[in-house]
Amino acid sequence: MSTPHDIPAAAPDSPSVGLRWAVKRSFLDYLARTPGSRAYVAGGVTANSVSEVTFPPAADAVDQADPSGALVYRFQGEVRYIGHGGLLHVAITDPIVTLAGDIGTLTIASVDEEDRHVRVELATLTVSARTAGDDGISWEATDVRLAPAGVAVFGDVYQAGELMAPLYVYLPPTKSSA
Ligand code: HEM
């Protein structure tokens, strides 16, 4: 039987640079007990032994261009969860987190019914711990909730506000910020 552990694993010593997320544990557990389910990664996404996937930072990973002072963290790559012969197809693509203070949103790239590129607000989150210094930037959000627009992504099974997996961001120091 195939499970999400079929995702290529990160090398044991490779750091989890980027956005690390397990989406929702009960969803991954459900896939693991659904015969024939698979997860596919692309664009540099890796998975660890506990089925968290890590999206690498995009070239312009952090941006504070927003006049409101919001921080924009951009990541790239994709994970696709497939099950029930393809009827279940959940894709998390090119995630972006926007933080205003400790409150943020997670959006993903998608296409609408007319094949236009759109971004979907998948979740809201609250940062619970944060460090920034010579070692780079890291923060985590334990209160990650499904946003109204994210309900359809999971086939309308979860309601808006459903608790999702904690989300972790780590970005090493860059030369320009050193
Ligand atoms: C042939 C089609 C499908 C069948 C037979 C099916 C069956 C099931 C069953 C039996 C459960 C309960 C699993 C359990 O608690 O052990 C479940 C849960 C779920 N299904 Fe499906 N499903 C189908 C399609 C889909 C599709 C298209 C989606 C869209 C993404 C979906 C998303 C989910 C989600 C998110 C859960 C809840 C998992 C959790 O957090 O407990 N399913 N499904």
Sign of CA dihedral 66, 72, 74, 78: negative
Write out pLDDT tens, residues 87-118.
999 999 999 999 999 999 999 999 998 999 99
In a domain, 177, yes or no: no
In a domain, 176, yes or no: no
In a domain, 90, yes or no: yes
**Looking at the 3D structure of the chain, how many domains does it have?**
1
Greater model confidence, 87 or 9 = 87
CA torsion 146-151-155-158 (nearest 10°) is 50
In a domain, 31, yes or no: yes
Pocket test for ligand 1, best of 30, 151, 156, 159 (most atoms within 8 A of CB): 30
In a domain, 73, yes or no: yes
In a domain, 178, yes or no: no
From the list 17, 21, 97, 171, the residue with the least C-alpha distance to 108 is 97
Q: What is the whole-number distance in angstroms between the Cα of residue 44 and the centre of ligand 1?
A: 28
Residue nearest to atom 1 of ligand 1 (CA): 84
From the list 63, 15, 12, the residue with the least C-alpha distance to 172 is 15
**Mean predicted lDDT score pLDDT of the chain:** 90
Instruction: For residue 156, give the ligand 1 atom closest to its CA.
Output: 29
Q: What is the whole-number distance in angstroms between the Cα of residue 116 and the centre of ligand 1?
A: 27
pLDDT at 10: 58
Q: What is the whole-number distance in angstroms between the Cα of residue 83 and the centre of ligand 1?
A: 9
Least-confidence region, from 37-46, 67-76, 142-151: 67-76
Domain that holds residue 62: 4-171
In a domain, 83, yes or no: yes
pLDDT at 63: 86
Write out pLDDT tens, residues 121-164.
999 999 999 888 888 889 999 999 999 999 999 999 999 999 99
Q: What is the whole-number distance in angstroms between the Cα of residue 140 and the centre of ligand 1?
A: 28
Greater model confidence, 43 or 136 = 43
Give the residue ranges of DSSP H helices in the chain: 25-32
Mean pLDDT of 62-69: 80
pLDDT at 58: 96
